[in-house]
Amino acid sequence: MVVLIGTMKVHAERLDDAIALGRTMLEPSRSEPGCLAYDFYQHHADPNTICFVETWTSREALNAHFETPHFRDFVPQVEAFAVGPLDIRVFAVSGVEQL
């Protein structure tokens, strides 16, 4: 299993556009094989910061997501809203413990 956490700071005047764009990714991404969870959040202390949190069954499933038409359309649009580079990290998870 892998977890992707992607954080970006958005130009304030484009925040509504960035949130609307993020919403367009939810349904198609969640319906992909290997997607266990796909969400995004607005940071509570800095509303111009958006964080995507994705959980995939494998790195191969995540890589396949990167090749989908909806992802390829999304990337240049979201980059246009960003202030600086996106911070994208992928974590390999060896196990999950329910607390």
| pTM recorded for the entire structure | 0.92
In the chain, the number of structural domains is 1
User: How would you write the pLDDT of the chain (99 residues) with one tens digit per residue?
Assistant: 999 999 999 999 999 999 999 999 999 999 999 999 999 999 999 999 999 999 999 999 999 999 999 999 999 999 999 999 999 999 999 988 989
Question: What is the pLDDT, as a whole number, of residue 96?
Answer: 87
Question: What is the pLDDT, as a whole number, of residue 36?
Answer: 98
> What's the number of CA atoms in the CB half-sphere (13 Å) around residue 95?
3
Residue 99 lies in a domain: no
Question: What is the pLDDT, as a whole number, of residue 41?
Answer: 96
Question: What is the pLDDT, as a whole number, of residue 86?
Answer: 92
Residue 57 lies in a domain: yes
Do residues 64 and 34 make contact, with C-beta atoms less than 8 angstroms apart?
yes
Residue 34 lies in a domain: yes
Residue 32 lies in a domain: yes
- For residue 85, the enclosing domain spans 2-92
Question: What is the pLDDT, as a whole number, of residue 27?
Answer: 97
| CATH number for 85 | 3.30.70.100
Q: What is the SS3 assignment for 74?
A: helix
Question: What is the pLDDT, as a whole number, of residue 53?
Answer: 98
Contacts of 2 (CB under 8 A, 6+ apart): 55, 56, 58, 59, 62, 90, 91, 92, 93
